[in-house]
Amino acid sequence: MKGNKQKNTDGEVKVKSSPMLALFGKIKDFYRNNVCNHKWRCAVCGKDVFGNDYVCDDCDNALPYLSKGDFCEHCGRKTKTAQKYCLTCKGVLTEVDKMRSVFNYEGVIVKLITDFKFKRAEYLSDFFSDALYKLYQKENFNPDIITYVPMLKKAIKKRGYNQTELLANALSSKTGVDCALLTEKVKDTSHQVGLKRKERFENLQGSIRVINRDLLKGKTVLIVDDVTTTGATAEVIAKKLKSGGSKRVYLLTVASVALIKE
């Protein structure tokens, strides 16, 4: 039976499948996550790789690294020409003090992130967190604490994991900086169709709450996420963290969508 693809409001593709397929998928995922060593196979093309590589040289050269081109000094998104700030960031202060992403959200990166989020490809957190760590060092991020984007409990149960938590924990062990959940999601915001931009933002604001306030006061926090699309979620989290006492908030993501405005 062929999977029945559905698009949700974020444009993410969800795949509905039969119980047999689901069971087969679970066995396969278990094998991939626990038995076979992904360091031996390119995460993109499956070719053998050696040493500590996750991706073969050919595929790595073809990946849309943002460091290869021009990007905004504030939000880190790809810009068409060399300029300090993108049109969105120019003259605008955001709650997130600095954002950086490893890749532009395009090509094979879209597939890898979709697999990571929706197809139980948890093993990709090794490759992604490795790339995040390299950028973290290059950009001299020096946070007091690392956190991630909260999900509703039922959503975690459905997916099996919070993919941003996997990334944040992996980055925490590489950097030695503590990782903690500093916000929680209290309301479902996946059905925002029909809401105006402002209403969507307000809805989002009402869906996130600060927890572990004692860890925040005067601290510089680094939020880890998979993809920056509109940036609204990170903006809301940063706003909440700052009203909870945090001094500075940074955002580090695997990929970001280039802004359409330019």
Q: How far is the CB of 81 from Zn ion (least distance, A)?
A: 13
Size of the site for Zn ion (CB under 5 A): 11
Scanning 42-50, 146-154, 188-196, 213-221 for contacts with Zn ion by CB under 5 A, the matching segment is: 42-50
Identified binder of Zn ion from the candidate list 66, 72, 131, 241, rule CB under 5 A: 72
Residue 154 or 261: the one with the smaller Cβ distance to Zn ion is: 261
Q: Is 59 in the site for Zn ion (CB under 5 A)?
A: yes
Q: How far is the CB of 99 from Zn ion (least distance, A)?
A: 8
Amino acid at residue number 171? L
Q: Is 42 in the site for Zn ion (CB under 5 A)?
A: yes
Alpha-carbon gap, residue 67 to 69, rounded angstroms: 6
Q: Is 182 in the site for Zn ion (CB under 5 A)?
A: no
Q: How far is the CB of 47 from Zn ion (least distance, A)?
A: 5
Q: Is 92 in the site for Zn ion (CB under 5 A)?
A: no
Scanning 59-67, 153-161, 169-177, 236-244 for contacts with Zn ion by CB under 5 A, the matching segment is: 59-67
Q: Is 87 in the site for Zn ion (CB under 5 A)?
A: no
Q: How far is the CB of 88 from Zn ion (least distance, A)?
A: 5
For Zn ion, the binding residues (CB under 5 A) are 42, 44-45, 47, 56, 59, 72, 74-75, 86, 89
